[in-house]
Structure 1
Amino acid sequence: MTKVSMLNLSEAGEVEIRPGKMGANGGTNSQGESFGFTNYYMTRNHEPFIPVVGEFHFSRFSYLGWEEELLKMKAGGVNIVATYIFWNFHEEEEGVFDWSGSRNLRHFIDLCAKLEYPLILRIGPFCHGEVRNGGIPDWVFAKPIEIRSNDPAYLKLARRLYRQIASQMRGSLYQEGGPVVAIQLENEFMHCGAPNDAWGYKTGKFISSGTGGNAHLAELRRIAEESGILPLFFTATAWGGAAVPEEGFLPMLAGYAYTPWIPNQPPSREFIYRDLHAIPAEPVNYDTRDYPVAYCEMAGGMQVSYNARPLVPANSVEAMALVKLASGSNLIGYYMYHGGSNPVGKKGYLNEQFLPKITYDYQSPLGEFGRIGESYDRIRTLSMFLESFGTALAPMTTILPDGQSDLEATDTDSLRWCVRHKDGAGFVFLNNFQDHVDMPDRPFRIELETSRGSVAFPAEGEAILPANMGVVLPFHLDLHGVSLISATAQPLTQVQANGEHVIFFYAHAGLTPEYVVAKSALSQLETEAGQVGEFDDHYVIHPVVGKNNGVAFRTADGKRVRFLMLSREEALQTYRFDLWGQQTVVISDCPVIAQQGQLVCTSPGSSALSVSLFPAPATELRTNTGQPVPFETAGLFQDYKFELASYTPQLTITKPSDKTALLQFAGDWPAHVEDVWLEIDYDGDVAEAFLDGTLLTDHIHYGKTWSIGLKNFYTKLEQATLHLRITPLRKGTVHTFVNQAQVERFEGVEIAVFHRIEAIPHYRVSLAPAARR
């Protein structure tokens, strides 16, 4: 028999909301929009706000694609961008600054301004970010100075760097009408350094973690402000006992579960619920009750190194975000959200030792060439939830059932859950994922006592939480006059259209969805499918899952409200945009973005596309070539299905040896093919791709397909051969002899073989109302 999990919230305390240490920070832009702080959450336009921050390093991606990638991030629910400015990318040679091409910070800032995208700049001087020397140029180490300190000679270099950055960002501060809301000075200061690749004689030599504590950060702040860098607030990476100034700096945390720096890593505690506002996950140098809990580095993946090759499952990215939100985090920042490629320096490669020379894909939601990963869809569902319900969630207090924060990471028997609530309403968070542990499907029944009455999940009997899954379940929410007592489905988003408020939920596989709705204030309930049980003061509704089914309510004061229950598959295909003068929910079987009044669809490998829109556009849609798009109306949605002309890339492959492949492309791509990707499955140790003798990208084998987007090299493909090369994986024994020279003899088997090399077309079409063309 399933154990009933119980929690009494009727007498549970709530967090005291006050200005805190950040209350004096914030500001208003020229449009009257504002950001501010309490001790518990940020505010946007004076309303509680839970930002979703995505890390995207502009200098690790071609500037030709920045706008599209930023729009992908927007479509994914990211509402603040963060980026590093790596000193050695811009001043590799002393006194010679390069702000051109993909190092053009100003162009990136201007694109964020154009897209109305708030921006956090992480300006160093030390950044880490897995670049050479953590971003400190090699020439700095030739000088008799103490880096990361108040050594006057070091501060002089920092001042010159900051003045250069200030000249690039002139007029771009939020209060000036620009996008820059915050600045991070330094990184992990007084906590850790980075490999000293300028040393060059022996591995294991590290740059100093810094000296001077808050006094050094105060000097960097003074220099920044004197240079004209005056953001709404500064941020500081606060984990590991790092230095955190008391005033004007928002402490930021990190969470990683697949960590190359921990050999033979045991299961982490990142998926255990706790009250982070009251008790931090690790010792920190500030009072957590004075600041919102904010994560700037929550693992969006992990970079593969030669010595450590973790494979990060998409489930873990979603589960960590859910657990941190439940535990009181009111800012969710993904590192990385978007991967990229290291630029090649004038004097060599700029990667950190043991990491790939070029690729910084990071297994992130958006990858090195704009690859859309499985985690992109998963965490978008949480971002959409925060967009619609974050204002309600932000002031809610975390309440832990007894023993939750003390669970062992290896515990596979206990139900992991907690509650965030305020005034008797809130959300139950359940998690059934744990890194490095196989979790079972878990029966559960949860009963809550609240100041608004009793709540049970489910209303009767028990439910099943599937393995490796998490879920957010609402209780006692007022949804535009409909009193939702509870639901065993996750809120996703909401729009107002056609005189109705439409709230979208979605059902997890194995978890039977239901709504429990109070009769009070309702004058009518209608459903074309599903079951409705009527009780003295409430209804229990078991809806049919699918976008064409819904439950319609009319409140006593005449409001029309509709609940729609999507499947998990449909939810993972759902986006919300402001399109053609209205909020629009899009369900698409291919990735989509909204760009300049168009819905842009990109379909990897399939020339057949399907898009559903609610509400329907006021006029017919046409493609970018002027063709009308046929549609069918089903339920609330208008369904568009169309097929583009199929294209097969002309590719010739020769293999001089098992470890080498030469690829020759012929023919132009048709206009509706946006890109061609190579997908390469191989066995080996490390692989590299060269075009015309230049290293394009590399790949340390970790069990996943190697993918290369080719559009940035399109003009060279017909004139040059693309060379793929594998360094063999050795299984055996290596004998090393050092006499006058180093001699290596290997006994065993070398493995280097290509299993599949395939060119995949990515089709592209944009849709817009006919009247707008």
Structure 2
Amino acid sequence: MNMTFPRSAIAIACALTLTLTSSSASAETLLAIDATAPVAKPATGHLKLGTAVAPSGQRLAANNQYLSLDGQPWMPVMGEFHYSRSPADTWEAELRKMKTAGITVVASYVMWNHHEEHEGKFTWQDNRDLRRFVELCAKVGLKAVVRVGPWVHAEVRFGGIPDWVVTSMRTRGDDPQYLRYVGRFYDEIGRQLRGQLWKDGGPVIGIQLENEYNLTGPDQGAQHIATLKKLALKAGMDVPFYTVTGWDGAVYPSGEVTPVFGGYPDEPWGTSTAELPPKETYAFRFDSRVSGDLGAQTAAQAPGTAETDIALTPFLGAEYGAGLPFMYRRRPVVSADDIASMLPVQLGSGVNLMGYYMFHGGRNPVGDSTLEESTASGGYNDTTAINYDFQAPLGPDGQQRTVLAKLRPFHYFMHDFGSRLAPMTVRRPAVTPANPADLKTARVSLRAAGDSAFLFVNNHVRQYPMPVQKDVRFAVKLPGGTVEFPRKGVDIANGAYFIWPVNFDLDGTRLRYATAQPVTRLDMGAAGITYVFAASAGVPVELLVETPSGTTVDAAGAQRQAGSVLVQGLKPGTGKALTVHRQGGRDVNVLVLTPEQAQQLAVGEFAGQRRLVLSAQQAWFDDGALQLRSTGSNRFRVGVYPALAQAPAGVRAAGKDGVFQAFEAQLPERRPSVTVIAERAAQPAPAILRGGLAKAALQPIPEAWRAAATWRIDVAPGALDGLDDALLQLDFTGDVGRLLAGTRMVDDWYYSGYLWQVGLKQLQAAQGQQPLSLAVLPLRADAPVYIPREGRPDFGGQPQLARVNKVDIVPVYRLAIRP
């Protein structure tokens, strides 16, 4: 006989994890969380913000819990994109891709040595045109946070401070000489941003001062951050928000700035040559905001201001890793799930601004010297001289990576439902993992306000298999009663992560719960309202809809009961899962997409209204057009909802895909070719040296390149004819690869097993008339560097490897669909 507990017993033990056993082999685990405590009212008035009202009357604000826009809770998504690391002629399209991916705020460092490499000679043109970049942010409808430093880190030489400053004065403190030059730099930035600030009707809503600042002592500490803020204001940078990074014991003047936080799924700045223990990034945090080591290059002497300010400031993010860089000594490759699984963890830990570093990759400019961080110039890390791919969702050449598709549904969720989530308080289950290395205990969190809540679950930890959480149900105790779901226990598989709603408002109808994740809401006027959910992989979809008098629900297999309708056995897809009819109100339709379909979903303005677009191709919205970009295939297929009045030119109608109107198109096929000719065999590579600040493997000295093997690369003429771009793919095995135009390096790469791609359009512009070649420094079998297991080559008894496995060109097609 099955054992059951009365609801009164659940109410008493709702803060515990209860295991309901039976005489059979199965067992049911009821994970219960008490969310009955009232939510404290937000505290205001203690944060000293800049001018927060735009000429339009729009107002930005911050309290100790969340940001607000026009008085409503606001949960933006911020993505880092370094304008000076990308070609200016691509900025607008790349910003539009970011907006379609759900980014609402663009952050960018202003790297001092990119603009004033030589004393007094400022460069603000071409790829360094900050003003044009923020103007484009405004044009495409994105807000901007300008991270002015002067020390920014960013894996750039001397943290971005020019050589002539570093070698002649004391930096990162209130040294009068240093402040004169910082003030002049800030004045230059202020002139670039004039008329572009929020108070002027522009997009710039925030300024970040310094970075990873935990220095204390004479003329340092909070005093220095206060000085920088005064200099920024003097330079005209009056904005709603001033931020500093809050990790690694950061110090700042409380109330004058707001700390922002982050976390990464690995530590490329580390020194270990093996896999790391499970990262804190995958564990819910209930008492802290710092998610492990973030690689600050100075050591804190005590807990910082961010720790004592938790009750005074909202939990905002700026550097959650949307990817990772490769350092010479450590080259971790991350999967899309390694990144996307952090979202429910961060949101479930209370984050109210999700900020990524980096969201778009790039390449370093080359001045009198290469401007990367390196041990040769006293840096802690050795990064590639030019390449700054970062495994970012958008690559240096605008290519969409798999991780972007995994992140996008979460971003749409934050855009459409963030105003509900932001005021909600984090509720901690009584039973939580003992530490980040506890892989057995279920990882669950809840955020609630009143009778509404969101449940957050993560069963993914990078490089560590998680046990299946078997036969799980949840009991969420709210002021109005306990919600138990689903009706039968479900298995939460290794690698699963999701957000489920509790007492979710469907425009006047209460969805008691859903075992699917809310994604977006579409208002179609008289045609009604559509809510889109995403099924959770491996979990049956179940929805319980309340049906008070005057409300009916149409759904296949609906089980009608007193005051509600239970929908079980629903097959996810592109058709309507259910429709709610409310007397005197508009119909509400619910779609439940498969996980794969949700990852192909783009939401944006098209043909005069906000629409859903479903396509396997990279998609973004561009001044009324829908842009589709296909890598490797000349065939396009797209679904649009609501339907268009007629098929646009250049595509053909392809019937219906559920509620989506389908279109197809095919462009002329192109097959650009490349020839690779071996020119020089590798010689024995010298032993890798150790040392530097990290006392670890050092990037080989220039003379070591005498041992490199080289190949000539000949791209056939007309390779870009009829194409948006083409990706030169360089698959090699070795230590370091360099792509050369004549004798000038145009790109470089650390071998890791992760594929190196270079956009042919930008490459040919950089190449000019010079011949193209690839040099590969041999990887020694005894190299004291970390390469993931999947990428570690089999040396077969050889002391070193330097080979080209394959070089090819992948065509990139682009189709513009205009209504």
TM-score (norm 1): 0.91
C-alpha displacement of 1:212: 1.7
**Pair 487,131 (structure 1): closer, same or farther in 2 beyond 3 Å:** same
Give me the whole-angstrom Cα distance separating, in 2, the residues matched to 1:439 and 1:8: 22
What residue is the counterpart of 2:691 in the other structure? none
User: In structure 2, the residue corresponding to 1:633 is in which secondary structure?
Assistant: strand
8 Å contact kept, 2:33–2:429: no
8 Å contact kept, 2:49–2:242: no
Asked whether 1:640 is paired with 2:663, we answer: yes
What residue is the counterpart of 1:34 in the other structure? 59
User: In structure 1, the residue corresponding to 2:46 is in which secondary structure?
Assistant: helix
Give me the whole-angstrom Cα distance separating, in 2, the residues matched to 1:437 and 1:104: 44
What residue is the counterpart of 1:171 in the other structure? 195
What residue is the counterpart of 1:539 in the other structure? 565
What residue is the counterpart of 2:148 in the other structure? 123
What residue is the counterpart of 2:777 in the other structure? 727
C-alpha displacement of 1:24: 5.3
Q: How does 1:37-186 map to 2 (within 5 A)?
A: 37-143=62-168, 145-186=169-210
User: In structure 1, the residue corresponding to 2:158 is in which secondary structure?
Assistant: helix
8 Å contact kept, 2:723–2:812: yes
C-alpha displacement of 1:307: 0.6
8 Å contact kept, 2:254–2:309: no
Give me the whole-angstrom Cα distance separating, in 1, the residues matched to 2:481 and 2:721: 60
Letter in 2 for 1:764: R
Give me the whole-angstrom Cα distance separating, in 2, the residues matched to 1:616 and 1:693: 55
8 Å contact kept, 2:629–2:812: yes
Give me the whole-angstrom Cα distance separating, in 2, the residues matched to 1:717 and 1:695: 10
What residue is the counterpart of 1:302 in the other structure? 324
**Pair 521,679 (structure 1): closer, same or farther in 2 beyond 3 Å:** farther
Letter in 2 for 1:727: L
What residue is the counterpart of 1:484 in the other structure? 511
What residue is the counterpart of 1:375 in the other structure? 403
Which of 612, 618, 622 lines up with 2:645 in the alignment?
Answer: 618
8 Å contact kept, 1:330–1:394: yes
Give me the whole-angstrom Cα distance separating, in 2, the residues matched to 1:371 and 1:270: 26
What residue is the counterpart of 1:471 in the other structure? 498
**Pair 552,141 (structure 1): closer, same or farther in 2 beyond 3 Å:** closer
C-alpha displacement of 1:526: 1.9
User: In structure 1, the residue corresponding to 2:97 is in which secondary structure?
Assistant: helix
Moved more, 503-512 or 270-279: 270-279
What residue is the counterpart of 1:600 in the other structure? 627
Q: How does 1:198-597 map to 2 (within 5 A)?
A: 212-264=220-272, 265-275=276-286, 283-285=303-305, 286-353=308-375, 354-404=382-432, 407-443=434-470, 444-458=472-486, 460-497=487-524, 499-527=527-555, 530-542=556-568, 543-597=570-624
8 Å contact kept, 1:21–1:291: no
User: In structure 2, the residue corresponding to 1:78 is in which secondary structure?
Assistant: coil
Q: How does 1:705-744 map to 2 (within 5 A)?
A: 705-714=755-764, 719-732=769-782
Letter in 1 for 2:251: A
What residue is the counterpart of 1:686 in the other structure? 736
Give me the whole-angstrom Cα distance separating, in 1, the residues matched to 2:442 and 2:455: 12
Show CA shifts across 1:314-348 (max 9, x none). 21211112111111110110011111101001244
8 Å contact kept, 2:322–2:356: yes
- The count of aligned residue pairs is 732
Give me the whole-angstrom Cα distance separating, in 2, the residues matched to 1:81 and 1:461: 43
**Pair 499,707 (structure 1): closer, same or farther in 2 beyond 3 Å:** same
Q: How does 1:663-682 map to 2 (within 5 A)?
A: 663-669=713-719, 672-682=722-732
Give me the whole-angstrom Cα distance separating, in 1, the residues matched to 2:204 and 2:809: 40
8 Å contact kept, 1:614–1:636: yes
Letter in 1 for 2:172: R
Give me the whole-angstrom Cα distance separating, in 2, the residues matched to 1:23 and 1:220: 15
Identical positions, percent: 31
Letter in 2 for 1:189: Y
Moved more, 433-442 or 121-130: 433-442
**Pair 2,723 (structure 1): closer, same or farther in 2 beyond 3 Å:** farther
Give me the whole-angstrom Cα distance separating, in 2, the residues matched to 1:716 and 1:329: 42
Moved more, 229-238 or 342-351: 342-351
User: In structure 2, the residue corresponding to 1:456 is in which secondary structure?
Assistant: strand
Q: Which runs of 5+ in 2 are unaligned?
A: 1-25, 294-302, 376-381, 682-708, 785-796
Give me the whole-angstrom Cα distance separating, in 1, the residues matched to 2:640 and 2:782: 57
Letter in 1 for 2:676: I
Asked whether 1:697 is paired with 2:747, we answer: yes
Give me the whole-angstrom Cα distance separating, in 1, the residues matched to 2:87 and 2:287: 38
Letter in 2 for 1:368: P
Asked whether 1:765 is paired with 2:805, we answer: no
C-alpha displacement of 1:50: 0.8
8 Å contact kept, 1:472–1:489: yes
User: In structure 1, the residue corresponding to 2:199 is in which secondary structure?
Assistant: helix
Give me the whole-angstrom Cα distance separating, in 1, the residues matched to 2:27 and 2:404: 34
Give me the whole-angstrom Cα distance separating, in 1, the residues matched to 2:58 and 2:406: 30
User: In structure 2, the residue corresponding to 1:267 is in which secondary structure?
Assistant: coil
Letter in 2 for 1:94: E
Letter in 2 for 1:608: R
Q: Which runs of 5+ in 1 are unaligned?
A: 192-207, 735-746
**Pair 462,16 (structure 1): closer, same or farther in 2 beyond 3 Å:** same
Moved more, 514-523 or 223-232: 514-523
**Pair 23,47 (structure 1): closer, same or farther in 2 beyond 3 Å:** farther
Show CA shifts across 1:177-219 (max 9, x none). 111111111111125xxxxxxxxxxxxxxxx999521111111
**Pair 384,765 (structure 1): closer, same or farther in 2 beyond 3 Å:** same
8 Å contact kept, 1:126–1:134: yes
Show CA shifts across 1:294-316 (max 9, x none). 11111111110111111122212
C-alpha displacement of 1:410: 2.2
8 Å contact kept, 1:275–1:398: yes
Letter in 2 for 1:499: A
8 Å contact kept, 2:223–2:252: no
Show CA shifts across 1:26-48 (max 9, x none). 61222232211121010112210
**Pair 20,247 (structure 1): closer, same or farther in 2 beyond 3 Å:** same
Give me the whole-angstrom Cα distance separating, in 1, the residues matched to 2:287 and 2:622: 38
User: In structure 2, the residue corresponding to 1:74 is in which secondary structure?
Assistant: helix
Q: How does 1:3-14 map to 2 (within 5 A)?
A: 3-9=28-34, 11-14=36-39
Show CA shifts across 1:370-411 (max 9, x none). 23111111111110001111111111111010132x522222
Structure with the higher strand share, 1 or 2? 1
Give me the whole-angstrom Cα distance separating, in 2, the residues matched to 1:716 and 1:415: 52
Give me the whole-angstrom Cα distance separating, in 2, the residues matched to 1:10 and 1:226: 47
Moved more, 537-546 or 499-508: 537-546
Moved more, 280-289 or 121-130: 280-289
Give me the whole-angstrom Cα distance separating, in 2, the residues matched to 1:77 and 1:322: 16
User: In structure 2, the residue corresponding to 1:290 is in which secondary structure?
Assistant: coil
Give me the whole-angstrom Cα distance separating, in 1, the residues matched to 2:435 and 2:623: 50
Moved more, 583-592 or 11-20: 11-20
Give me the whole-angstrom Cα distance separating, in 2, the residues matched to 1:178 and 1:329: 26
TM-score (norm 2): 0.86
